[in-house]
Structure 1
């Protein structure tokens, strides 16, 4: 996975982000069940309180560390514990202290064929990266960047 170009502007902020032992992280490649995993984890950690879940969006309950503008980094740092954090970044770009902490890490994977098709369809729907290319061209890019 190639991180969004803007993410590199905040690379040091992300690498130096202070991880807490009671953090809960959901790490996935895009289109691998991130939202489902976040929702399941959040509900398990909150005794399946659906009323509480409906009181805020999944993005508010489980913010993404690696937003293109870097805005969530300081908001997450100031957030009360336990924090629920998601990321699509590869391990080498995640906070240095993550693997040395007691934070919970949930890593979700999906069959690469299903992932590539889902990502291709998502890019087409969102009109990302001028997805007027063929699926074969997309697959060439997908396999070269992964």
Structure 2
């Protein structure tokens, strides 16, 4: 008889929101107070909505489809996942200021960095305009 699948490892409930196990009690506050740079780009999606794929598309748009430039500019910049995960904010803080940071997140609007809500940085959440920009890039 086959083993039963193991249940999901659980959730953390923080300030009334359910979070995956990689989010600790202090992480939502760290995200809300994260220092946003003017050239930061946030990919905002629902969990399991191909976020990594969307992040790669944004990086390709920013590098005008030049795959070598994507590898060069973003080889070490994934910083371990969504900004709400353990230590990810600190990892993004340590990245060079020479290139824009492309970050992904699944946080509700209430938990987005305050500076994003004030208009700092850029957000990619509207798929129609996103794909319009993607299709305009030169793939040479």
Q: Normalised by the shorter chain, which TM-score bucket?
A: 0.5 to 0.7
* Match 2:47 to one of 30, 39, 42: 30
Structure 1 pair 79/62, CA: closer, same or farther in 2 (3 Å)?
A: same
Give, in angstroms, the shift of residue 3 of structure 1.
2.1
* Match 2:102 to one of 72, 84, 90: 84
**1:51 counterpart residue number:** 68
1:19 is aligned to 2:36: yes
**1:72 counterpart residue number:** 88
1:125-140 matched pairs, under 5 angstroms: none
- Structure 2: unaligned runs, 5 residues or longer: 1-16, 128-140
Q: So what's the TM-score if we normalise by structure 2? A: 0.63
- Tell me, yes or no, if the aligned pair for 2:83 and 2:104 is still in contact at 8 Å: yes
Q: So what's the TM-score if we normalise by structure 1? A: 0.61
Moved over 3 A (4+): 52-58, 60-63
Take 1:91 and 1:65, find their aligned partners in 2: how far apart are those partners? 13
Flag the structure with higher helix content.
1
Take 1:3 and 1:93, find their aligned partners in 2: how far apart are those partners? 12
Q: How much is the aligned-residue C-alpha RMSD, in angstroms? A: 2.5
Give, in angstroms, the shift of residue 57 of structure 1.
7.5
* Match 2:117 to one of 88, 99, 103: 99
Take 1:7 and 1:107, find their aligned partners in 2: how far apart are those partners? 25
Take 1:108 and 1:8, find their aligned partners in 2: how far apart are those partners? 30
Structure 1 pair 55/40, CA: closer, same or farther in 2 (3 Å)?
A: same
SS in 1 for 2:107: coil
